[in-house]
Structure 1
């Protein structure tokens, strides 16, 4: 009896390693998930995509077995953190305002059959794909669980590599309180017929700092800086800026991935940010908090630097705010010396975030270990599929001696060369 053919979109698992020996044949490792694109003939050959490498090619069904679909446990419907089939963008919207440990679980849209654990920290929302392997669930292929409830209970006890430990489930729509909605600090509004973003600054020290810089900030005009339209002082400080419809760079990358955002797009984003920072440098302004979370994407997919209104002039004064350790240069951490060169260090970290599609830098490294290891010369490895030349650019930003780091002008020149090379990729 002939075997039933697989329909396009069927998820299959590789039974063993296979290295292609013929042109247009697909390579894969045991356990890799392949998605069937179409049947090539009636002899069991298919065109498929390796979900891990994103490569396409021919494969014989002899090397594959149909993947068992994960069936949604009926008990999940009773779990307040399970939101069903919602997009990554919707998950980010639901997890607002961000706070450490707030989380939800959704069904993956891009990878049918998988789940995604969405975890909020004070600064961002991280998306962790939960894959089905050997009849168990895993995020890191180190810890395995029989079901989602067991997985959630584990990460509520220990972060184990997540951005933070799970502490508070985000209730499904229809059960959230009005108080949660009122606690939002960033909202959309309309000014002179145009959409604008309004951000409330609650910290008195930060608000005062911003007010002192307002006259300078409103005069800054550059295509790669989020335009500051003004401020409103009324029972607090509200910053009014142009509306950036595609959100911050971290979430933009995580909700789209390699299939949508190409190498050329990444290089262009890097150039956009570099040009904005070069302009700030020309005005003798230091950002101090340059990171992918502070880069916003416009409707035209232009990357713009935001939150530069809290930037300061070149200074060695002690900063009262808590420093973002993973992004801050050693001399700024140890001696509180901020300069354009410390911004360049942060830009190198941002490039790593960019080319790793929104991963948190220094994964699985505690802040205490991180500071010590960086002092001793540790630098992050090249992100998967990132050109070596771009990684070398990152490393040049991470020179321990600030004087050896490149200027934003030099970084821009080198990225432009990378952009020209990508035209032929």
Structure 2
């Protein structure tokens, strides 16, 4: 029986190695490549409409669904954390807006949680996204994976890779892991991070109509702005510590509380 990516991650994330995580995102990106090859844009890509099938195959559903026919003028339809900032301010969907959604999926696969899952999908979150706030990168994320993810969520669509570049880069990373010894498939017993599953309200995990006025042009946030936004949040992740060939850095946990937009 098919299950969507969100449920699949909730059920299995603690057992995944980075080798398996990279296989998952590679499969999703290859599926999106087929859509873009048909000169089509998905327009509403998120983990709720990516279906996992027996045998490790991922299919993308809800292609091209733009919301109800009677949606208000200037409104947008989608799952807010996955919507590209230029679309949030009212610009047209493009191939590069799908690539932004892929970045959010990359983060979700790395963390096991939907992006911004502790925040209401409201004007404050929209303002933060447009001003360059992105989910806090999970400690232990491979350097190449992290850099590619950051390219994909750049506020400037022209700086995001196209689907063909993205396929090639993820295949390179995937190949690296597939050629490593079997020890990479084993989870290390001594780990400092555990997943803290914040399921939140299910209404936050579905697409809906949004309408936001008076938003600025999208930009990238500074490191200081990112730190300010995330300084009152806690991220407890379980990350297999088997990626020394990619990235030997680590991070510590932060305290937690809900905050509003840092941009007014």
What is the TM-score of this pair, normalised by structure 1? Answer: 0.39
Equivalent of residue 362 in structure 1, options 116, 124, 132? 116
Q: Give 1:172-321 correspondences, 5 Å limit.
A: 245-259=1-15, 261-308=16-63, 310=65
Indicate the structure whose relative CO is greater, using CA pairs within 8 Å and at least 6 residues apart.
2
Query: Structure 1: where are the runs of 5+ without partners?
Result: 1-244
2:162 corresponds to 1:388: no
* Cross-structure match for 2:95: 340
Q: Greater helix percent: which structure?
A: 2
Q: For the Cα contact (< 8 Å) 2:43–2:97, is it kept in 1?
A: yes
Q: For the Cα contact (< 8 Å) 2:41–2:64, is it kept in 1?
A: no
Cα distance, 1:286 vs structure 2: 0.9
Cα distance, 1:334 vs structure 2: 0.9
Q: Distance in 2 between matches of 1:416 and 1:379?
A: 24
* Cross-structure match for 2:161: 406
Q: Distance in 2 between matches of 1:393 and 1:254?
A: 24
Paired residues in the alignment total 175
Q: Distance in 1 between matches of 2:91 and 2:118?
A: 26
Q: For the Cα contact (< 8 Å) 1:291–1:350, is it kept in 2?
A: yes
Q: Distance in 2 between matches of 1:319 and 1:262?
A: 42
Q: For the Cα contact (< 8 Å) 2:88–2:130, is it kept in 1?
A: no
Q: Distance in 2 between matches of 1:380 and 1:415?
A: 20
Q: Distance in 1 between matches of 2:56 and 2:133?
A: 34
Q: Greater strand percent: which structure?
A: 1
Equivalent of residue 419 in structure 1, options 136, 157, 174? 174
User: Max radius of gyration: which structure?
Assistant: 1
Q: Give 1:367-378 correspondences, 5 Å limit.
A: 367-378=122-133
Q: Distance in 1 between matches of 2:20 and 2:73?
A: 38
Query: Structure 2: where are the runs of 5+ without partners?
Result: 185-264
Q: For the Cα contact (< 8 Å) 2:100–2:152, is it kept in 1?
A: yes
What is the TM-score of this pair, normalised by structure 2? Answer: 0.61
Q: Distance in 2 between matches of 1:372 and 1:310?
A: 24
Cα distance, 1:392 vs structure 2: 1.5
Q: For the Cα contact (< 8 Å) 1:296–1:306, is it kept in 2?
A: yes
Cα distance, 1:309 vs structure 2: 5.3
Cα distance, 1:282 vs structure 2: 1.6
Deviations 1:289-345 (A, max 9, x none): 111111111111211111115379xxxx96766332111111111124101011111
Cα distance, 1:364 vs structure 2: 2.9
Alignment RMSD (CA, Å): 2.2
